[in-house]
Amino acid sequence: MDQAQINSWWVEVRTQSNRKAFDRIYLSTWRNLYAQAWRRVEDEDVAKDMVQDVFVKLWEGRHSITITGTVPAYLHAVLKNRIMDYFQSENVLKSALERAFLIMESVVDRSELGLSYEETEGILEEELAKMPKNMRETFLLRLDNQSIPMIAQSLNLADQTVNNLLTEARRRLKENLPRRFENHHPQYVILFLYALNEMLTYN
Considering the domain architecture, whether residues 115 and 76 belong to the same structural domain is answered as no
Considering the domain architecture, whether residues 36 and 117 belong to the same structural domain is answered as no
- In sequence order, what are the residues at sequence separation of 6 or more whose Cβ sits closer than 8 angstroms to the Cβ of residue 13? 21, 22, 25, 59, 62
Domain that holds residue 115: 107-200
What does the pLDDT look like over 25-74, one tens digit per residue? 999 999 999 998 898 877 788 889 889 989 999 999 999 999 989 999 99
**Distance between CA atoms of 111 and 97, rounded to whole angstroms?**
16
Within-domain flag for 194: yes
Query: Are 129 and 139 spatial neighbours (Cβ–Cβ below 8 Å)?
Result: no
What does the pLDDT look like over 148-158, one tens digit per residue? 998 888 788 89
Considering the domain architecture, whether residues 118 and 177 belong to the same structural domain is answered as yes
Number of independent structural domains in the chain: 2
According to the model, what pLDDT value does residue 110 have? 60
Query: Is the predicted pLDDT of residue 203 greater than 50, yes or no?
Result: no
What does the pLDDT look like over 92-124, one tens digit per residue? 777 777 777 777 666 666 666 666 667 778 888
Q: Give the confidence band of 202 by pLDDT, cuts at 50, 70, 90.
A: low
Domain containing residue 27: CATH number: 1.10.1740.10
According to the model, what pLDDT value does residue 112 have? 63
Considering the domain architecture, whether residues 73 and 142 belong to the same structural domain is answered as no
Domain containing residue 133: CATH number: 1.10.10
Within-domain flag for 114: yes
Considering the domain architecture, whether residues 149 and 71 belong to the same structural domain is answered as no
Considering the domain architecture, whether residues 189 and 125 belong to the same structural domain is answered as yes
